[in-house]
Structure 1
Amino acid sequence: MSIKSIKKGTILVAKPTLTNDIFQRSVVLITEHIDSGSIGFIINRSTNLPISIFVSEVESGALVYEGGPVDKENIYYIHKRPDLIKNSEKIADNVYWSGVYEDVKIAVNQKLIKDNEIKFMIGYCGWSPNQIINELKDNSWEITDLDFDIFENWSSDLWKKLMKQLGGENLIWVNTPADPSMN
């Protein structure tokens, strides 16, 4: 796939060259890609902590995901309920980012929005202009389209599933341990 094909809704799958950091075996949803840079969220790494631990006014057991290394003092959310959350930004079909926080709080607390309709992240991934392009040239990422229900597939084995789907040389890494010295 061409480097120019990065857009909102693109999925980045970390290549094994990205090791020993937050991006190792990560899957990232791109929510913004413009001349001034790119923004995305890691979608396959749970903190195993509920949102209510981070935001006491949100009464839910929905887990928070490790969104990325930037701005880890804030909670972000993607969802598929723009009808309940005003000012949501469309990322792809049935995938929205952000929106009015008060709407989120009300929708979650009143159980109008289900756990499989919203995902919370702490922090985000950010790239300066051309940084992501350079990482692609360095073969750090595979690019794929968002062709699955992002709200149903946030499992820890999502990286392996996508590497299998991408096929080719990626298949060699599917059963390799994250730390090859442990093989």
Structure 2
Amino acid sequence: MEKKFTPTPTAGDLLISEPFLQDQNFVRSVVLLCDHNAEGSFGFVINKPSILRLNEIVDDLDFLDKEVFVGGPVEQNTLHFVYVGEKELEGSIQIGEHLWWGGDFEQLVSKLKLGSMNIDVVRFFIGYSGWGAGQLSDEMSEDTWILCQENIDESSFSFTPEELWKSLLKNMGGEFKLLANYPLDPRLN
């Protein structure tokens, strides 16, 4: 039997859950991969809003009524962020052409308070998605995830969470365009 080629994901890639995935943490999800190496993988679900708002969890940002997303099922008592554009914060890690993960949180708060950083280019997450050594590669070979190497930019954050999953698949074309229209529950079709 011929072994199927499975592309290797890298930081900045998007993992799109296949339409049949029933894990409630990842149904119709898009995960931004921040790190992928021999020890494991780490990223954030970028299209699953939480019930929390930023002003409810960060006292210094009580003036910002900003949506916070569920980054994944791991350590949901932690807050993380990514931003688009030029590097603005010390300690930020570049994960895409104009995409940054984390950085000095106090500096972020200060810039947001002063209005010197656009809140619309920042996305906040509670928790994260993590995979142990080889786990993501196994899931990729089982077709749990569709690898999308489209660059994240400011417009990516303008899609509603429901639109993002479909839009990315449609933009990939071919068989993926067909998957974008697959019903959430085919029994209701």
When normalised by structure 1's length, the TM-score is 0.90
Alpha-carbon offset, residue 48 of structure 1: 5.5
Which string of whole-angstrom CA distances, capped at 9 and with x for unpartnered residues, describes residues 133-181 of structure 1?
00011111111113341x3223221100111122333333322332222
Give the aligned partner of residue 182 of structure 1: 188
> 2-side partners of 1:153 and 1:49: how far apart?
21
How many residue pairs match? The answer is 182
Matches within 5 A, 1:44-83: 44-47=47-50, 49-58=52-61, 59-80=63-84, 83=87
* Contact 1:12 1:141 (8 Å CA) reproduced: yes
Between the aligned residues of both structures, percent identity stands at 29
**For the aligned residues, what is the CA RMSD?**
2.0
What secondary structure is seen at the aligned counterpart in 2 of 1:139? coil
> 2-side partners of 1:174 and 1:19: how far apart?
16
What secondary structure is seen at the aligned counterpart in 2 of 1:5? coil
Q: Which moved more, 1:38-47 or 1:108-117?
A: 108-117
* Contact 2:69 2:124 (8 Å CA) reproduced: yes
Among 134, 148, 163, the residue aligned to 2:169: 163
* Contact 1:26 1:45 (8 Å CA) reproduced: yes
Which string of whole-angstrom CA distances, capped at 9 and with x for unpartnered residues, describes residues 94-133 of structure 1?
1111111111111112211112221101111000011000
* Contact 1:43 1:67 (8 Å CA) reproduced: yes
Q: Please, which runs of 5 or more residues in structure 1 have no aligned partner?
A: none
Give the aligned partner of residue 90 of structure 2: 86
Q: Please, which runs of 5 or more residues in structure 2 have no aligned partner?
A: none
Among 137, 141, 154, the residue aligned to 2:141: 137
- Structure 1 segments of 4+ aligned residues over 6 angstroms from their partners: none
* Contact 2:92 2:100 (8 Å CA) reproduced: yes
Among 106, 117, 125, the residue aligned to 1:121: 125
